[in-house]
Structure 1
Amino acid sequence: MPAVGAPYAALLSSLKVGDLTLKNRIIMSAMTRARSINNVPNDMNRAYYEQRAGAGLIITEGVPIDKRGSAWTDVPGIYTEEMAEGWKRVTDGVHAKGGLIFAQLWHMGRQAHSSFFDGKLPVGPSPLKIESPKGVPNADGEFVPYEVPHALTVDEIQEIVQQYKQAALLAKAAGFDGIEMHAANGYLVDQFLQSCSNQRTDEYGGSIENRYRFLDQLMDVALEAFPKERVGVRISPNTNFGGSGSPDFRETFTYVAEQVGKREVAYLQVLDGLAFGFHELGEPMTLDEFRPLVSEKTKIFGNVGYTPESGEEAITSGVADAITYGRYFLSNPDFPERLANNWPLNEPPEHAAWFTPDLPNREKYSTSWGYTEYLPYPEEAKQAASA
């Protein structure tokens, strides 16, 4: 981790996002942690998010909107009343600590595996499997080849749209301050957006306008549950994660940003960094390309690989309104406070503690290992530093 030696006035300044005031511009990124037994949020999840309520905004880990939308063990969903009740305890805890929290609505699409669905194939816009030497973890934690997904019919697409609507309504009932539509990283929404994974010939494929239609309909139902100022969108124009990366990526994501901008939603989160991999199909898209595509009402969040220094620069230069951080928050629950006071940062936990399908390691996931074991900066150290 880099030493913290410079002031971060821009990162630590407040930001008005719609009718919400973020106390700083340090956003906690969505990070799958798989610590919810039977997919229901629990007390350990509440403690984890409470610890990080000092972020300007918390964006939850990806929250599946349907059982067939997730194929990762113990990921908290939001498609039952029990799940919503679990999340209500989490949001109550975050709010009690003065924090704000959005739920990231998520569907894995063709990145899932049939072993989680009683043999039913994962779904996607087209019957195109992901080509990857690593493969995908099955329900036993073993890596196996990706499967050719079931190509969704128009009626099935509409069923998923309604599942998103129900998830958004449950998120509202659970006390979330807003929702983020996960349209990145090669998951289902991104699969529709990208020409490499969407080869449909109906109203959901072909032209960029048609490939955007699914996300457009999801935005419609999201806005039935939350006002536009409480909805964000996440995109990843540069990555090859999950089989993504299309020759027309720049035209596609320029159009997506323009359409999202017309809705004047809360923010557009752009994964402009390359740590998730780079498709090498052209020059990477940068935040300054997206800024003129949205109105001032829609904030730009940068994400992937930012340090405190580069995040400060992105904000002061005007290309970003806020920066979304992930791994810093893993081991520094009070990350913004540490920056404000020049306190040292902890190293991140070992990678197996972030998330792993490996079952022997997963036995530790019911404990605080790599999760809630990281505490705020010690009081005695604070006193010594101020003496």
Structure 2
Amino acid sequence: MSALFTPFNLGSVVIPNRIGMSALTRNRSSATIPNEIMRKYYEQRAVGGAGLIVTEGTLITRQGTEWPDAPGIWNKEQIEGWKKITDSVHATGSKIYSQIWHLGRVSHPEAPEQIAAGVPVYAPSAISARGGKFRHIDGTPGYVTPTEIVDPTVLIAQFKQAAINAKEAGFDGVELHGANGYLVHQFLDSTSNKRTDKWGGSVENRARFALETLKTLIEVYGSDVAIKLSPAGGYNDMGMPLQETIDTFGYLLREINKLGLSYVTLVRYNPWLDPEYDGKKRGIPHDVVESYSSFLADTPLFVNGSVAPAEAEELVSTGKAAGVFIGVNWITHPDLGKRIRAGKDLDNAPDYTTLYGAPGVDPALGYTDYKEAVY
């Protein structure tokens, strides 16, 4: 595993290895405030050898997410909570980015934070996503028809403020969540974006929101800005025909390559993230590395999606990727980086009953209590 354990210049910082910890929603904040159990969770994994940690999706404003107790980064108390986490991670020698996140049409007006926000569910177009189950709303309420965003620059300004707050909290950079059917992805996909103004219609117009948001994040963070994309779609009712998908993401990545980002993460097709709607899968399975890496000649590519250690080494050693992001194995193995380096088995199975916590249950269960290997 020699290639995985070489340092890498990532924007303005150097990460100690190429094994990143992917953004993983865990529902452990105190309402929307990062807390002590979260600090312990991130510190464990920094000590365990994560070269770069990307936080769980962090909300830029109050939204009716299906994930209760997801953290935010729009107020002072949240900034202070995150500062304790970034300080702990930095003390280990690891680096940490904030993944900044807006749900768009997959919020719900009856979710507590959306009620507190006092605003409608916003999206590029007034088109409801299929599906929709919320952990704090009884039954399967489904998604609602959202209110079309009149002026998308208002949301771009919210992303910029989130980056300003992330910098105050001590994050090394920000990753724009452009994947999995959330707001940025909704602008990109022609099935969720039917606008006829400069923010919709053509490939160039549908890519405008992502590109303009990245440019305003660069105003705050310089080269320490990244984006996560899932071209194969599926999750949250996303997916265009294959050629349109390649044309859309090819154009987007060609333009992103001009911006000098620290990295782009491409999420590979995963059938687990491609639910059926009306008896049919929604996503478009294709090799995202093969299809899009040529558009990123000057931008580091990280690969995400069921990447095993041996494949990670092969991707990095052959130059197909600068690094990888791993998800579930970082949940179940707080010492994942150390295990990979020492050739230890990855033998902790996830406990799905505690994965996202539950009211009245010790938040450490299935979160900070996974066993480390004996070295």
Give the alignment of 1:203-282 within 5 angstroms.
Answer: 203-228=198-223, 230-247=224-241, 248-275=244-271, 276-277=273-274
User: How big is the shift at 1:285?
Assistant: 3.6
Q: Which moved more, 1:40-49 or 1:65-74?
A: 65-74
Deviations 1:47-91 (A, max 9, x none): 000001121100000000000374521001000011011000000
- State how far apart, in whole Å, the 1-side matches of 2:284 and 2:122 are: 29
* Paired residue secondary structure (1:288): helix
Aligned to 2:122: 123
- State how far apart, in whole Å, the 2-side matches of 1:78 and 1:171 are: 7
- State how far apart, in whole Å, the 2-side matches of 1:80 and 1:26 are: 31
Could you tell me which runs of 5 or more consecutive residues in structure 1 were left unpaired when the two chains were aligned.
1-7, 383-387
Q: Which amino acid is 1:210 matched to?
A: N
Q: Is the 8 A contact 1:303 1:325 kept in 2?
A: yes
- State how far apart, in whole Å, the 1-side matches of 2:265 and 2:85 are: 23
CA distance 1:40–1:20, shift in 2 (3 Å): same
Q: What fraction of aligned residue pairs are identical, expressed as a percent?
A: 35
CA distance 1:93–1:270, shift in 2 (3 Å): same
Q: Which amino acid is 1:211 matched to?
A: R
User: How big is the shift at 1:13?
Assistant: 2.2
Matched, 1:171 2:166: yes
- State how far apart, in whole Å, the 2-side matches of 1:239 and 1:216 are: 19
- State how far apart, in whole Å, the 1-side matches of 2:109 and 2:338 are: 44
Give the alignment of 1:305-320 within 5 angstroms.
Answer: 305-320=306-321
CA distance 1:283–1:94, shift in 2 (3 Å): closer
User: How big is the shift at 1:342?
Assistant: 1.7
User: How big is the shift at 1:216?
Assistant: 1.6
Q: Is the 8 A contact 1:113 1:138 kept in 2?
A: no
Q: Is the 8 A contact 1:59 1:102 kept in 2?
A: yes
Q: Is the 8 A contact 1:104 1:182 kept in 2?
A: yes
- State how far apart, in whole Å, the 2-side matches of 1:113 and 1:180 are: 24
- State how far apart, in whole Å, the 1-side matches of 2:60 and 2:348 are: 33
- State how far apart, in whole Å, the 1-side matches of 2:251 and 2:227 are: 14
Indicate the structure with greater helix content: 1
Q: State the TM-score, normalized to the length of structure 2.
A: 0.92
* Paired residue secondary structure (1:312): helix
Q: Which moved more, 1:205-214 or 1:284-293?
A: 284-293
Aligned to 1:329: 330
Could you tell me which runs of 5 or more consecutive residues in structure 2 were left unpaired when the two chains were aligned.
276-280
User: How big is the shift at 1:46?
Assistant: 0.4
Q: Is the 8 A contact 1:110 1:129 kept in 2?
A: yes
RMSD: 1.8
Q: State the TM-score, normalized to the length of structure 1.
A: 0.89
- State how far apart, in whole Å, the 2-side matches of 1:123 and 1:138 are: 20
